[in-house]
Chain A
Amino acid sequence: MGYCPNTPDDIREMLAVIGAASVEELFSPIPAELRAKSFDLPAGMSEFELMRIMRQKAATGGADVTPFIGAGIYDHVIPAAVDHLSGRAEFYTAYTPYQPECSQGTLQALFEYQTAICRLTGMEASNASLYDGGSAVAEAALMSLRITGRNRVVLDASVNPLHREIVRGYLHGLSAEAVEVAPAGCACDLERLMGSIDAECAAVIVQNPNFFGSVTDFSALAEKAHQSGALLIVSCYPIALGLVATPGEMGADIAVGEGQSLGNAPSFGGPYFGFIATRKSYIRNLPGRIVGETVDKQGRRGYVLTLQAREQHIKRHKATSNICSNQSLCALRGLIFCAAIGKKGFSDLARLNYDKAEYAKAVVSRIKGVSVLNCGPTFNEFTVSLGKDAAPVVERLLALGVAAGVPLGGYYPGMEKALVVTVTEKRSKEEIDRLASLLEEALCS
């Protein structure tokens, strides 16, 4: 029943070796008064019956809706090789590579992953991944507190609202503060961000493209932060990095982000992975696992978990983070995605996202009453005003099988008419045209 192979004969022989009369006797160290008062679960079932239940649940999972939604989680192509290779049981059913000689598969893959993240973000040192995008931004904030010895971060309010909430939660316990700077419309308010940097500021945290889809050059902000001894943390969308200037090129000290778009399906919220990369000089302040290259006695190249003295299993409460795992398998999927799409493919893919979104922007903004709110360039997401409350429009289109975008009212009071529309390479011209005509119907009727 529980995948337990021992036969009654095995069990008898084992009990004899142990010197116990019954399996129940092995639980005698547990005093009677501590025994479970209830364990009221249904009886088990067969695979067939289970799958009937699971299929029913999956059938009402919204998988048939055409998504023009993103908000950090994007519907991108996943090459078949990603599933096939990451599904290899040798990767899938292994654990943390504590014993490097019999874990070179995972270790080399993570080293290759770290390389891919460094090359995508333009940074020098990546860890082996974090839980997700939100916790990665929070870990970057904590990292900046450690590096600078300061106690406050400036958080641009056009960073993903879900991520900001996680950052606030992480900082709260440590009595550190996050000061939020409201955007100017859909753009980051660079002047106010710069004005908020003082001698107590550990870091400025921005996102590129931001939650509204606007792309910004943060080079001047990086310079200003550095003048005050603060760091620049840029949360970025990896697919956009096929086209948009990298955090490294802008002078960022830490690049983080949600890695889902690299080969991981939306899967109703996870598992995904977060990435974090920094300058080599800050490597000891990175949270989580890091894989490093070395050699054995015969000079053969190999990979190990390195700089473990930062980690909880050695440093306990003085560790750089409590994190004890990474999202190895999801990071592996990210790596295989990058290698399958390849150098040129990655640029082409980013360009395709941009082209499709620009097309959608053009057709949607032609609708009477609709206007684009981003004043500068966007990547594959843009914000429009529908001229009236966006929520009921979204609800109406959802009933027709189209998720038209994320209405902003719930996140940004005063922006009730605004809608963030996401267009990945998977949305066909036909789907985009249908979105536009359904929006038009909803708005003009």
Chain B
Amino acid sequence: MQLIYEKSMPGRTGVRIPLCDVPQAQPFPEALRRKGAAGLPEVSELDLVRHYTNLSRRNFSVDTNFYPLGSCTMKYNAKIAEDAGGLFAQCHPVLALLPGGEKLVQGPLSLVHGLEQQLAEITGMDEVTTQPLAGAHGEMTGIMVIAAYHRARGDNKRKYVIVPDSSHGTNPASAAMAGYQIVTIPTAPYGDMDLDLYRAAMNDEVAAVMMTCPNTLGLFNPHIAEICAIAHEAGALTYYDGANLNAILGKVRPGDVGFDVIHVNLHKTFGTPHGGGGPGSGPVGVKKGLIPYLPTPRVAKKEDGSFGVEAHPEGIGRVSDFFGNFGVMARAYAYITLLGREGLIEVSEQAVLNANYMMARLKEAYDLPFDKTCMHECVFSASRQLKDGVHAIDIAKYLIDRGYHPPTVYFPLNVKEAIMIEPTETESKETMDAFIEVMLEAAKLAQEKPELLHEAPVTMPVGRLDETRAARAQQVCCEQ
């Protein structure tokens, strides 16, 4: 398909801008003016609409296809949450910072506060900040809070953060951005972080341990309380990566188990649309002792019941301009309020049921490195198919031809040829059955006609793309 720039016609105009109702000013000084107009497209509104409508049709999405992308919780995004979030479009955040401005924005401030309270109760933490703009941003914020805590106690020798090898790549990357060195603990044969190696690595130079639970293999780590206790004994803090929170709503609260800091991905657990890779939102919750180090400002409920914006002088400063990705937060608030207590519990129960069903039906055809009850996702390996020369990526591409967005492949890194499936609670048994049939068919094809899998996909606008060429050419924009 042509680029919008290639459809451009000199002199063609699109949307009209407002007329000028004031006298024209003296020309802007020549020396400070840009040389020539920016080379933006010159298209009619219909050109524009056709172009982007047709482009959109080149995407798989939750609303059009089953999208069992493991670790991403691609659940259905309720339409009412869209309507609710859209109500605040015209609220200017700077109003809240003006003298006398707070009383004009009580609605949105009450929403920030309300969401923080909902999330604190859901996770068992004492306070929450909604400022972080994505999961990884939440991780960085959380680790910065931990660093501030140690610093405030004059405990300056802590320079390591421990992560299991099955962690999301963002965990070590976020800890590194907050200035820490990383210690990686391997996974034991039982599917969790090796407890003995962890114990041996823990000492008074460790600032924190970052855990994902259920872990990225979809397994609940029964030693999680012990892991927290070992950290606390050494004066280290415990960080819970909430990426997989969808498995445990109402069942486990990280705060009850011994975690000090948590981030939550609103775009995963609380059903806000992923937008093709963002915007997300990554609120951070902490236990009491860490509240002073949360980012500034805080939205606080005053004695008279109204809401205000307060500076938080001991905190780590600001991690984003205002109160976080408010539009995303409003959608999550709507989702939590709509579902309520029972609805959220049902979410986790059905997510876990769906994943275990998927696992039970596929384990005959695909290797299951850790064959035990899983939580919200299950991780297979295509190592059996590899004997016939078929890789996980070949199965993924075949699924595309059959109208399914592939599961996550090659993650977690500690499983060879990993295929990570997260059906989520919003998919029906029939949808999963149809997907399972195609997965079984792929396993059969791997033995009988592996070349069909190697050639896939053949039904898309493009086949497999040459990534090496892209990396070499570094063609990242359209030349003028």
* A21 contacts chain B at the CB level, 8 A cutoff: no
Inter-chain CA distance A343–B4, complex, in Å, is 12
- In the bound complex, do residue A118 and residue B323 qualify as a contact, i.e. CB atoms below 8 Å apart? no
Q: CB-CB < 8 A to A10: which residues of B?
A: 428-429
Q: CB-CB < 8 A to A296: which residues of B?
A: 462-466
Interface 9-residue window, one of B101-109, B196-204, B229-237, B383-391: B101-109
- In the bound complex, do residue B463 and residue A316 qualify as a contact, i.e. CB atoms below 8 Å apart? no
Among all A-B residue pairs, the 5 with the closest Cβ atoms: A44-B340, A269-B322, A329-B275, A271-B279, A358-B25
- In the bound complex, do residue B461 and residue A342 qualify as a contact, i.e. CB atoms below 8 Å apart? no
Inter-chain CA distance A41–B475, complex, in Å, is 51
Which of A35, A244, A321, A339 has the most C-beta atoms of chain B within 10 angstroms of its own C-beta? Answer: A339
- In the bound complex, do residue A162 and residue B58 qualify as a contact, i.e. CB atoms below 8 Å apart? no
* B369 contacts chain A at the CB level, 8 A cutoff: no
Q: CB-CB < 8 A to B174: which residues of A?
A: 322
* B298 contacts chain A at the CB level, 8 A cutoff: no
- In the bound complex, do residue B464 and residue A297 qualify as a contact, i.e. CB atoms below 8 Å apart? yes
* A191 contacts chain B at the CB level, 8 A cutoff: no
Interface 9-residue window, one of A100-108, A180-188, A225-233: A100-108
Inter-chain CA distance A377–B20, complex, in Å, is 20
- In the bound complex, do residue B478 and residue A112 qualify as a contact, i.e. CB atoms below 8 Å apart? yes
- In the bound complex, do residue A116 and residue B40 qualify as a contact, i.e. CB atoms below 8 Å apart? yes
* A313 contacts chain B at the CB level, 8 A cutoff: yes
- In the bound complex, do residue A43 and residue B341 qualify as a contact, i.e. CB atoms below 8 Å apart? yes
Q: Mark B62-103, 1 if CB is under 8 A from A, else 0.
A: 111101010010111110100110011111111111111100
Interface 9-residue window, one of A57-65, A148-156, A193-201, A436-444: A57-65
A340 to chain B, nearest CB (A): 5
Q: Mark A122-151, 1 if CB is under 8 A from B, else 0.
A: 101110110111110000001000000000
- In the bound complex, do residue A340 and residue B15 qualify as a contact, i.e. CB atoms below 8 Å apart? yes
Inter-chain CA distance A59–B105, complex, in Å, is 9
B201 to chain A, nearest CB (A): 15
Q: CB-CB < 8 A to B41: which residues of A?
A: 338-339, 342-343
- A115 and B465 in contact, given A14-B429, A61-B105, A394-B100 (Cβ under 8 angstroms): no
- A342 and B14 in contact, given A62-B105, A162-B321 (Cβ under 8 angstroms): yes
Inter-chain CA distance A38–B326, complex, in Å, is 27
Supply 7 further A-B pairs (C-beta < 8 A) apart from A97-B277, A351-B28. Answer: A2-B425, A62-B105, A102-B405, A271-B326, A313-B170, A339-B14, A355-B25
Q: Mark A331-359, 1 if CB is under 8 A from B, else 0.
A: 01000101111111111110110111011
Q: CB-CB < 8 A to B400: which residues of A?
A: 99, 101-102
Which of B76, B121, B373 has the most C-beta atoms of chain A within 10 angstroms of its own C-beta? Answer: B373
A126 to chain B, nearest CB (A): 7
Contact count band on A: 35 or more
For B72, the closest partner residue in chain A by CB is: A95
- In the bound complex, do residue B471 and residue A292 qualify as a contact, i.e. CB atoms below 8 Å apart? yes
Partner pick for B37 among A45, A132, A346, CB 8 A cutoff: A346
Q: CB-CB < 8 A to A292: which residues of B?
A: 470-471, 473-476
Inter-chain CA distance A120–B23, complex, in Å, is 27
Q: Mark A51-95, 1 if CB is under 8 A from B, else 0.
A: 101111111111101010111110101010100110011111111
Q: CB-CB < 8 A to B257: which residues of A?
A: 34
Q: List 27 A-B contacts (CB under 8 A).
A: A2-B347, A4-B346, A26-B373, A39-B122, A41-B336, A62-B95, A71-B94, A77-B18, A85-B56, A90-B59, A92-B63, A103-B276, A108-B1, A109-B55, A132-B321, A169-B317, A267-B326, A294-B467, A301-B462, A316-B182, A326-B277, A345-B16, A346-B37, A351-B28, A377-B32, A399-B100, A428-B21
Inter-chain CA distance A136–B15, complex, in Å, is 29
- In the bound complex, do residue B463 and residue A297 qualify as a contact, i.e. CB atoms below 8 Å apart? yes
Q: CB-CB < 8 A to A69: which residues of B?
A: 92, 94-95, 98
| Interface residues in A214-243 (C-beta closer than 8 Å to B) | 215-217, 241-243
* B212 contacts chain A at the CB level, 8 A cutoff: no
B359 to chain A, nearest CB (A): 8
- In the bound complex, do residue B426 and residue A348 qualify as a contact, i.e. CB atoms below 8 Å apart? no
Q: Mark B279-318, 1 if CB is under 8 A from A, else 0.
A: 1110000000000000100000000000000000000111
Q: CB-CB < 8 A to B437: which residues of A?
A: none
- In the bound complex, do residue B474 and residue A270 qualify as a contact, i.e. CB atoms below 8 Å apart? no
* B334 contacts chain A at the CB level, 8 A cutoff: yes
- In the bound complex, do residue A36 and residue B250 qualify as a contact, i.e. CB atoms below 8 Å apart? yes
For A258, the closest partner residue in chain B by CB is: B321
- In the bound complex, do residue B92 and residue A317 qualify as a contact, i.e. CB atoms below 8 Å apart? no
* A20 contacts chain B at the CB level, 8 A cutoff: yes
For A389, the closest partner residue in chain B by CB is: B99
* B29 contacts chain A at the CB level, 8 A cutoff: yes
